[in-house]
Amino acid sequence: MVEIEVDGRAVQALPGQDLLAACLAAGIYVPHLCAQPNLPAEGGCRMCTVEVDGEESPVQACEVTVAEGMVVRTRTARVEKIRNVALELMLAPHPKDCTSCAAYLNCELQALMQYTGVAHSRLREIEKETARIGSSDSIIAKEMFRCIQCTRCVRACDDLRGVGILQLNHADGEVYVGTAGDVPHSQTDCRFCSACVAVCPTGAIMDVPGLFRTDVPRTQALVPCQDSCPAHTDIPLYLQLAGQERYSDSVAVFREKLTFPHSLGFVCSHACESGCKRGKIDTPISIRAVKRFAVEQDPDQRWRERTSVAPATGRRVAVVGAGPAGLTGAYYLARKGHDVTVFERSAKPGGMLSYGIPRYRLPQEVVDAEVATLVEDAPFTIVTGTDVSQVAALREQFDAVLVATGAQAGRRPPEFAAGWPNAFDGVDLCHRWNDGTAPALGDVVNVLGGGNVAFDCARSVKKLGATTVRVLCLEPFSTMLADAEEGREALAEGIEILASVAVAPVVGDDGRVVALSVSDVVAFSFSSDGLHLDLVPGSERELALDSVIVATGQQSDLTPACGLELRPGNFVVVREAGATGVDGVFAAGDAVNGTSSVVGAIADARRATSAVDRYLGGDGDIEDTLFDREGHDPVLGTIPDFSGLARTDCRTAQAVTTETSRCLHCELRRDIDTAKYWTDPVFKAPVVAP
């Protein structure tokens, strides 16, 4: 270490460290603007001016390297005069509308004005002709009249990222920051990493408003794909590894959080893709398809060698339900050394993966292989064909119980509640198609509902030979709950979609539904007394049918006999981390939350599993590290026509590499240091007067 003295205080500095960094690290605030720890020093703003004994003139702390015995003064009259004049010169062309700037209260320039007491310039205001040059893009908002030419953005783009699309331009005798030719970033080699945004000390270069969530920690919000994934998988990393053809490493990364990566490669609701920031530029990265490709190129599954099972605890756990949530719970509890038995009503494990999703979307052998892998890696017992209705009573035989029975009962609107012989629940039909017991439905089948189950039913019926298949839903097409590709593919398969319609059954003399009465909807709303419809006058017509499938929602099929407190829909009421009102009985997944998604059920089961382990005396830690992080390379470099790269189908290694190269690498922004303000608590230590 190097010992120096700053304002009378002894400071230990690192050899080779610059004086500014040494002072800040020691809790001594020295003003600075153009300096930023991730960037090479520029030394232009003069805010960090200090006096060093033995130096005739004041120096810039960001440009001076510490030396043993150096004696430094940061607040002398000479220093403050230089600093204040430099700040006034900077403020002369700067707008005075701080309160209407998006960076208000997050502006390093504003904070320096408060620190120094320098108000807007005493100098004549300077109007810069070039101040309004600089167009915004879909994710980067520019107000270049707020630029102070500290060149942090230029250095971030050039030195940090190796992209170099920002530069100092010259026009009309003025210098300003811009792109070559002042074109938008989308017409340059910009990688849209937003490093320029992260380092800008003012409101000149900002994220467009609303780009990130504000209700979660900033580091989480900054990577929207990972934030949107219910399991918060490290998506940027596994995309990058897949793009490098390191498929086993890629699988290892998402297997750290997800128990059914291959199944999810087929059916994940891919909330991550909705969050993907590339979607704001053109289309999101095809994250689900990358995941599936990587799993299918990873026959050796080397990452499995890094999973281990703890010594036996002697504790016995019952899991009710062998769906994604139940099996996830069983796997992690077995890995924590507990003796786990899973009870499943159906003949096969897998829950909705085996029975709720049509085989054309998810092959059964994929599910079977993933279940086998879980049991092989962390042995637990699965008892199929066993219906446990009194789940709470299991607690008498086991040290803990995890209820993960899903939401496997159809929920019908009141007008379809009657049990007509040709009206079927969608979720029940899916189950019966998968176990081979489904009835014939006829040639004309109408499906009610706008979610994935409705489309699973419609597309299954069509593939089974029905001539006329219609999906009817209350919502407009654009806001249907089903994945957008479901709607597109259904239309391509010849299925009719009647969106924004209200339907009522027309029952024949034989007690069967013979038609649906359909009316177009202008608007609808729900209140405590039910559904309110505003219909298009005269739009009512009848659609004849052979059978109708009701896929308008699902609920839990638990009954009060289960011994747990239930809420409407027969969902289990839980307290913190899945704990029910019965000691030692926990619940997770759709049985608690209603139908969400496979990935949502897995994420919820992980939370509850951790709580079960703690209840049993464990530490609750179920986190895995199956891949050793190597640290991020901050340099992105350029990719030809980056903005124009179109989404690929990810069916070949080359396509996956191209697809993953479209990533904006939002995660790199987490590595950029946040601004240090003189008001930060770390700087509250008293500074000795000059």
As a whole number of angstroms, the distance between CA 84 and CA 92 comes to 12
Concatenated DSSP letters of 591-645: HHH-S--HHHHHHHHHHHHHHHHHHTTS--------S------------TTGGGP
45 in contact with ligand FES (CB under 6 A): yes
Q: Which residue, 41 or 473, is less far from ligand FES as judged by CB? A: 41
As a whole number of angstroms, the distance between CA 300 and CA 248 comes to 8
Q: Which one among 2, 9, 26, 43 touches ligand FES, defined by CB under 6 A?
A: 43
- Contact range with ligand FES by CB under 6 A, out of 29-37, 474-482, 483-491, 497-505: 29-37
As a whole number of angstroms, the distance between CA 38 and CA 403 comes to 49
Q: Which residue, 89 or 221, is less far from ligand FES as judged by CB? A: 89
- Scan for tokens 């029952």, then name that residue: 507
Instruction: Give me the least distance between CB of 71 and ligand FES, in Å please.
Output: 19
For residue 395, with 0-12 CB atoms within 10 Å meaning exposed, 13-18 middle and 19 or more buried, which class applies? middle
State the SS3 of 274-290.
HHCHHHHCCCCCCHHHH
Instruction: Give me the least distance between CB of 90 and ligand FES, in Å please.
Output: 10
Q: Which one among 11, 62, 177, 225 touches ligand FES, defined by CB under 6 A?
A: 62
263, two tokens:
């199944």
Q: Which one among 11, 46, 248, 582 touches ligand FES, defined by CB under 6 A?
A: 46
95 in contact with ligand FES (CB under 6 A): no
H or E stretch covering 523:
strand 513-527
Q: Which one among 22, 48, 197, 605 touches ligand FES, defined by CB under 6 A?
A: 48
Number of shown-chain residues binding ligand FES (CB under 6 A)? 12
35 in contact with ligand FES (CB under 6 A): yes
Q: Which residue, 155 or 278, is less far from ligand FES as judged by CB? A: 155
33 in contact with ligand FES (CB under 6 A): yes
34 in contact with ligand FES (CB under 6 A): yes
Helix, strand and coil percent figures for the chain, each rounded to 5: 35, 15, 45
Q: Which residue, 34 or 458, is less far from ligand FES as judged by CB? A: 34
Interacting residues of 681 by C-beta distance below 8 A, sequence separation 6+: none
83 in contact with ligand FES (CB under 6 A): no
As a whole number of angstroms, the distance between CA 624 and CA 627 comes to 9
As a whole number of angstroms, the distance between CA 272 and CA 250 comes to 16
- Of 330, 127, 249, which is closest to residue 628 (Cα–Cα)? 249
Q: Which one among 32, 262, 270, 431 touches ligand FES, defined by CB under 6 A?
A: 32
47 in contact with ligand FES (CB under 6 A): yes
Instruction: Give me the least distance between CB of 60 and ligand FES, in Å please.
Output: 4
Instruction: Give me the least distance between CB of 164 and ligand FES, in Å please.
Output: 21
Instruction: Give me the least distance between CB of 197 and ligand FES, in Å please.
Output: 20
Tell me if 408 sits within 8 A of 595, measured CB to CB: no
Q: Which residue, 27 or 162, is less far from ligand FES as judged by CB? A: 27
- Scan for tokens 């500095």, then name that residue: 13
Instruction: Give me the least distance between CB of 218 and ligand FES, in Å please.
Output: 24
Q: Which residue, 82 or 366, is less far from ligand FES as judged by CB? A: 82
Instruction: Give me the least distance between CB of 33 and ligand FES, in Å please.
Output: 5
Q: Which residues bind ligand FES (CB under 6 A)?
A: 32-35, 43-48, 60, 62
